[in-house]
Amino acid sequence: MKYFLKRTLAYFIDCSIAFSAIMLILQWAILSNIRGALGLTDAWFRDGVNVELYVLTTISLPVWIYFIYFDSKKSKGTFGKRIMKLAVQDAQQQRISVGKSLARVALKLAPWEIIHLGLMLPTPIHYQEEPEIGVVTILGIVLFVGLALSILLNANQQSLYDRLTGTQVIEVTQ
């Protein structure tokens, strides 16, 4: 359980870093000031496809890049992992390649993308007269919980996405 809590806290730290950088710097400081010039009006944001593309390119993609880059670096981990003394490695105890990191991140963050789709399509939830959580959103939530539980239920404490990509998150003892 201690290992699971370390991984959870590392993920929380990374999400906090990503939220701060993306939402405060990219969204608020930069994009909020140039949306009009880019043609991103309130009417544009009423279209679910537009909102999904906006979220994908300005929120999801930067988060994916953060995880892909840092997990495949020599340090073998994001800031959260390093703070919690964790590292990602392959079966040969080597750092993972960018390609392997991409596959790992795609599987790890897929539930979030499914949740985004459920909330944004066909009409963004914040524009619905009577908002409701649909089946696609619930599927994303179930997948997220399932991936978290896969760490607890696996004898080697590997998540499903780590098993599928041949990676493992280890505790760094030095």
pLDDT, one tens digit per residue, over 100-119 is: 999 999 999 999 999 999 99
Residues in contact with 168: Cβ distance below 8 Å, sequence separation at least 6, in sequence order: 88, 89, 90, 91, 156, 158, 162
DSSP letter assigned to residue 56: I
Q: Is the pLDDT of residue 165 over 80?
A: yes
Question: CA-to-CA distance for 120 and 118, rounded, in angstroms?
Answer: 6
Q: Is the pLDDT of residue 20 over 90?
A: no
Q: Are strands 86-90 and 167-171 parallel, antiparallel or unpaired?
A: antiparallel
Residues in contact with 24: Cβ distance below 8 Å, sequence separation at least 6, in sequence order: none
The pTM (predicted TM-score) of the whole model is 0.89
pLDDT value at residue 21: 84
pLDDT mean over 74-93: 94
Place of tokens 């991140």: 105
pLDDT mean over 135-161: 95
Q: What angle do CA 146, 149, 155 make, to 5 degrees?
A: 130
Q: Which residue type is seen at 164?
A: L
Q: Is the pLDDT of residue 35 over 90?
A: no
- Residues recorded for the chain: 174
Q: Which among 143, 146, 125 has a CA at the least distance from the CA of 134? A: 125
Q: Is the pLDDT of residue 31 over 90?
A: no
Question: CA-to-CA distance for 164 and 161, rounded, in angstroms?
Answer: 5
Confidence of residue 9 (pLDDT cuts 50, 70, 90): very high
pLDDT mean over 121-137: 92
